[in-house]
Amino acid sequence: MSCMYILKAPLSQKVNRLESWSKNSWQSRVARQQPEYSDSSKFNEVVELLHQAPPLVFSGEVERLKQRLAMAGRGEAFILHGGDCAERFEDCNADAITSKLKILLQMSLILTYGTKKPIVRIGRIAGQYAKPRSKDTEVVDGKEIPSFRGDNVNFFQADANLRMPDPYRLLQGYYSSAVTLNFIRSLISGGFADLHSPEHWNLTLFAHKEVADRYHDVINQIKSAMDFVSSIGADKDHRLRTVDFFTSHEGLLLGYESALTRKVPVRDDYYDLSAHMLWIGDRTRNIDEAHVEFFRGVANPIGVKVGPSSNADEIIEVVKRLNPKNELGKIVLISRFGKDKVRKFLPDIIAKIQKSECNVVWEVDPMHGNTSVTSTGIKTRNFSDVLSEIKDSFEIHNESNSILAGVHFEMTGDDVTECVGGIRDLSEHDLSKNYESYCDPRLNYAQSLEMAFLISSSHK
């Protein structure tokens, strides 16, 4: 099974394609990481159904996120971007969605209190159902089968037939995203994030006592402050009762993304309304290929992963292609080097971006560059390695007169055992207790809270 989708355009079309764009112009380019469906007519049927379906988000929300990202890029706010490595259809239920939202809100509360800045909350949620893979196949129990590419593409079960790409799973992904978004909106509008009742955000899952005590101390101080604000009659601001919450996912499956892209007449722009923000990964950011071609034509904020394989000049070309107006808040560069490489590569890229005068917002993804495999073949990440890359990234940006505007985590609100270390000092022997990730290891509930405290204390 190939992970490359290629349509060859006539030479005359190739000459003019940089000047013209449509939501299907990517089809004339090499499109990597696309599933190869056995029946193209079924795929076309699904794409048409998605094209007729209502959008999942509103263009006004997308523009509001760009404004918030621009604030973060100027150092006036801080970005918390996190969620599952790969969402699962089976987790489209009230308990799972609530726990994901709750940990992001709790982390943002800690970060707000520590940094004294508004927090831009972006979830890897309501659409993160597809994953790029380095190989088309894997060997399980001595048999070679297609790789799992996320619930939007195939089943996780190690069965060759179930691993064949099924276009109808895109519809399930759309409906699961819609249900998730609807419930998130209901929770927030119904008072789940009301700072007048911060005790509603109390810890309900196990966390180390030291972390729990520090969190409840923050809660009590916020409650005391809210009581004071209320006593002088200054507690009517709606911002104390609700929060902005934005969604994101990797814009991997271009048939799905283009089907949910709409021309918004009042704004005279195209928006990919599958999410507020999309990102392009390490494997798909080639300037002459399909993903950059597609995303250069949409008005959403676009993330670009920047890792050890990145060439600064190529990243600058990509940024200019995606952001010809040089808007601050449009492009988020997400650095992911790993603790041993961040000091080697990041300063040079920052310097060249600054020299180019490209307006970008910087996040650090300390997860992907710090993945390791245990002696028994289990993928994990070490809490101290993650923290090390974060600390070094802050220092490098400060030394470079640049602003690190946010953090990007793969994390969960559940008490999983996927990353070692942290205040509970999980070891490799603990990983088998509750390892649930389909793909990459995530920070668990206690590790996520601890990380928020450590970031807020070091960011002052």
Question: Following DSSP, what letter does each residue of 282-309 receive, concatenated?
Answer: TTS--TTSHHHHHHTT--S-EEEEE-TT
| Cα gap 314→332, rounded to integer Å | 15
What are φ and ψ of residue 156, in 5° steps?
-75, -30
The strand pair at 78-83 and 404-410 is best described as: parallel
pTM to 2 decimals?
0.90
Mean pLDDT by 10 residues, the chain (460 residues): 39 45 96 96 98 97 98 98 95 93 88 89 97 92 94 96 97 98 92 60 54 68 60 51 87 98 92 98 94 98 96 97 97 98 97 98 97 92 97 97 97 92 90 91 91 80
| Cα gap 245→121, rounded to integer Å | 5
For residue 74, what is the DSSP state? T
Reported as type and span, the H/E element at residue 261 is: strand 261-264
| Cα gap 148→136, rounded to integer Å | 9
- Position 205 scores a pLDDT of 45
Selection from 321, 316, 389, 391 nearest residue 357 by Cα: 316
| Cα gap 273→63, rounded to integer Å | 12
Instruction: Decide: residue 201, CB within 10 A, 0-12 exposed, 13-18 middle, 19+ buried.
Output: buried
Long-range contacts of 369-377 (CB under 8 A, 24+ apart): 369/307, 369/308, 369/336, 369/337, 369/338, 369/339, 369/341, 369/342, 370/338, 370/339, 371/440, 371/441, 374/428, 374/431, 375/428, 376/428
The answer for residues whose C-beta is within 8 angstroms of residue 198's C-beta and 6 or more apart is 109, 219, 222, 223, 226
| Cα gap 166→174, rounded to integer Å | 14
**What are the structure tokens assigned to 330, written together?**
């449009």
Q: Is the dihedral of CA 205, 211, 216, 221 positive or negative?
A: negative
| Cα gap 163→418, rounded to integer Å | 24
For residue 426, what is the DSSP state? B
| Cα gap 305→290, rounded to integer Å | 16
- The structural domains of the chain, with segments of one domain joined by +, span 38-193+242-458
Contact 333, 404 (CB under 8 A): no
Q: Find tokens 């013209």 and name the residue.
A: 20
- Position 13 scores a pLDDT of 37
Contact 139, 17 (CB under 8 A): no
Query: CB count, 10 Å around CB of 417?
Result: 19
CATH class of 38-193+242-458: alpha beta
Query: CB count, 10 Å around CB of 89?
Result: 15
| Cα gap 143→159, rounded to integer Å | 10
Query: CB count, 10 Å around CB of 47?
Result: 18
